[in-house]
Amino acid sequence: MTVYLDYAATAPLRKEVFECYAEHLQNLGNPSSVHSTGQKIRRALEEARESVARSVDCNRSEVIFTAGGTESDNLAIKGLYWQRNSEEIVRPLIVSSGTEHHASIDPMEWLQNHDGAEIVWLPVDYQGIIDFDFFEKFLEENHQRVALVNLMWANNETGVVTDMAKVVAIAKKFDIPVHSDAIAAFGHIPVSFSNSGLSTMSISAHKVGGPVGAGALIVSRSTKLVSIIHGGGQERGMRSGTMNAPVAKAFALAAELAVAELETETKRLSALRDRLVQGVLALSPLAHHTARDSKRMPHNAHFTFEGCSGDSLLFLLDQQGVCVSVGSACQAGVNGPSHVLVAMGRTEREALGCIRMTLGKESTDADIDAVLAALPKALDGAARAGLTS
């Protein structure tokens, strides 16, 4: 039997979501067509938009459907940067953190290499919290040159939650737009776009039991973006291309279910996570719980293991039927320490020995039992192998 503890990479497609997706795949029509068949598909698309808007607490017109979180982050970061620099004032600075996902880091670095952007990396403490004093002082002194602030709502590796209300409140003093990658947060903790004050926010379907290849960028009605995809001008002119109604309907249902179950699942998963953390720490003095004193996601347990390679632990656990990760699945197979842990002040040696275990809808006490039973053998093998990267 396989024990799946990698929900942060992707969650299983929910049965009811699959059925919804399959049903709408059979419907003919282009949502942009004016005839009755096309308009039937359009109604389905707009119903999905309204549903997603309810789930994230925003206006329906603010939901821009995309092909996933990475596209959403690219559209927000590049679109905001280009829009802010289309005026007479030059604003080359992007304020962010070294703990961001590569879906944000890579487009920022692309702008740095191609458009002369300058990235300001905010200091992050040992628990993964940004230095708010530095942040505010930097904006006070440099706000006229800042294009945008980009900070994720919850870290996909460590599960650390950022105080987005505080981030936005500081940036708002200087009329600086803030984008947040909320992909790891949405569906796992309460997320309200309207209350956040954000300019843009990205979410993804497959993190909450929806299909891969579906996402959305929430764009406030007062925010303008330069598009990165040009064509028919769909999605408020920000994301051209034929809209995918079946995927949108499936995404909307997955989001609706995740939000409806949020309170009960938070309580259940927090208890499972705490049992997992306590069990791992009791098993081995090599184990250290990352960011234990920070506000964390209820389903995330992240560890470092002294003298062990995270990759070795992953493969040794996998041999026993336990699926975990060493961080973002997008970086799987890339040798080297976790950039998130290095930014948090860990040494490269420490950052090589990390494991992320994330729980979800189908996780049970039996899964925790299986992990704790498998871990001693895996730790013994990994310790004997040492750090090989």
Please tell me the distance from the alpha carbon of residue 297 to that of residue 49, in angstroms, as a whole number: 26
For residue 359, give the nearest of 374, 371, 342 by alpha carbon.
Answer: 371
- At residue 360, the 3 state secondary structure works out as coil
Please tell me the distance from the alpha carbon of residue 135 to that of residue 146, in angstroms, as a whole number: 12
Active-site entry in 58, 308, 330, 354? 330
Please tell me the distance from the alpha carbon of residue 36 to that of residue 15, in angstroms, as a whole number: 30
Based on the residue annotation, tell me whether 20 is a catalytic residue of this protein: no
Residue with tokens 């487009």: 107
Within the chain, residue ranges assigned H as helices are 15-25, 36-56, 69-84, 102-115, 132-142, 164-172, 193-196, 245-260, 262-283, 310-318, 339-343, 348-351, 365-385
CB count, 10 Å around CB of 33? 14
For residue 20, give the nearest of 259, 206, 255, 246 by alpha carbon.
Answer: 246
For the annotated catalytic residues, the residue numbers are 330
